[in-house]
Amino acid sequence: MIIDSHMHINRIVLDNPQKYINAINNNTNIESVINVGLDINTSNESISIASSNPKFFSSIGIHPLYIADQQLDSLYNLASHPKVVAIGEIGLDSTKNNLTEQKKYLISQIMIANELHLPVIIHSNNCNKIIIDIFEKYVKPKYGCVFHCFQPDLETLKYLVDNGFYISFAGRITYKTAKKSLEVASIVPSNLFLIETDSPYISPEPLRGEINETSNIKYIIQRLAEVRQCSTTEIEQITNANTKRLFKKMK
């Protein structure tokens, strides 16, 4: 059974979230999904969807592109909900030039996760090295960490593997230009990778440009099975176990 470890159902991007929720509830290949918040509003929405839909779990946090005027205090109260399995997505994004502010939010949120014994979901857009620097100089996730939609670089991969941190593969590995991602996919240890759609963003081939949804995770599984020369069932089983090991509240 498949777990989509990172996806978004929220009003920012979808007109009819219920349609996408129903599609997941009715899909017998999907065991569960982690619906990831981007700010306090979408984190709240994610918790309320998880409360009424057994397949849905929630990750809450403030994404680096949405940090303006966000109340970190409210994360504490929300995180005690039984279906909140992680803090995220949090991280750094080089497309905005407020990295100093972004770093403050990242550090504070890792501290919250450590205090609450939760893993973190990291968003890194061309910031792998700066984030590792923060881990080493300021605060390191104590209860697990995944770099979602991993931007491949072998030095970062080595650091993550050495620390028992995870990487997650999304639609990028289905693209023709994904040579480096495929290299990473072929060498990452079996116990340290997850799969995700990051839907409604980054649709895999052959659906690029369309609204992405969880059922498209099959293309990602297919590609990983080709690269790692194993069966798709094996990819499903490995990533299912890895996801539950990292996100302990899913068990």
Under the rule (CB under 5 A), what is the footprint of Zn ion? 198
Nearest residue (CB) to Zn ion, 46 versus 242: 46
**Smallest separation, CB 162 to Zn ion (Å):** 25
Strand 193-195 relative to strand 2-7: parallel, antiparallel, unpaired?
unpaired
Output the six-digit token pair for 229: 């020369």
User: Could you tell me the two tokens for 117?
Assistant: 């014994």
Q: Which residue is nearest to Zn ion (CB)?
A: 198
User: Least distance from C-beta 56 to Zn ion, angstroms?
Assistant: 15
CA distance 125 to 174: 19
For the bound state, the minimum distance from the C-beta of residue 201 to Zn ion, rounded and expressed in Å, comes to: 7
Please give the structure tokens belonging to residue 126.
Answer: 């061309």
> Which lies closer to Zn ion via its Cβ, residue 110 or residue 122?
122
* Angstrom distance (rounded) from CA 134 to CA 64: 15
Helices (H), the chain: 17-25, 40-52, 72-79, 99-115, 128-137, 154-162, 179-187, 217-228, 232-246
**Both structure tokens of 164:** 């028992």
CB of 38 to Zn ion, least distance (A): 7
Beta bridge partner(s), residue 87: 60, 120
CB nearer to Zn ion: give 156 or 212: 212
Q: Which is nearer to Zn ion, 34 or 224 (CB)?
A: 34
Nearer to Zn ion, 121 or 160 (CB): 121
Q: Smallest distance, Å, CB 36 to Zn ion?
A: 5
Question: Helix, strand, or coil here: 87?
Answer: strand
Q: Is 237 left (phi over 0), alpha (psi -120 to 50) or beta?
A: alpha
- For residue 105, the minimal CB distance to Zn ion (Å) is 16
Distance between CA atoms of residues 208 and 197, nearest Å? 12
For residue 130, the minimal CB distance to Zn ion (Å) is 19
Answer yes or no: are the C-beta atoms of 177 and 191 closer than 8 Å: no
For Zn ion, the closer of residues 44 and 233 by Cβ is: 44
CB-CB contact of 38 with 228 (8 Å): no
Q: 21 or 146, CB closer to Zn ion? A: 146
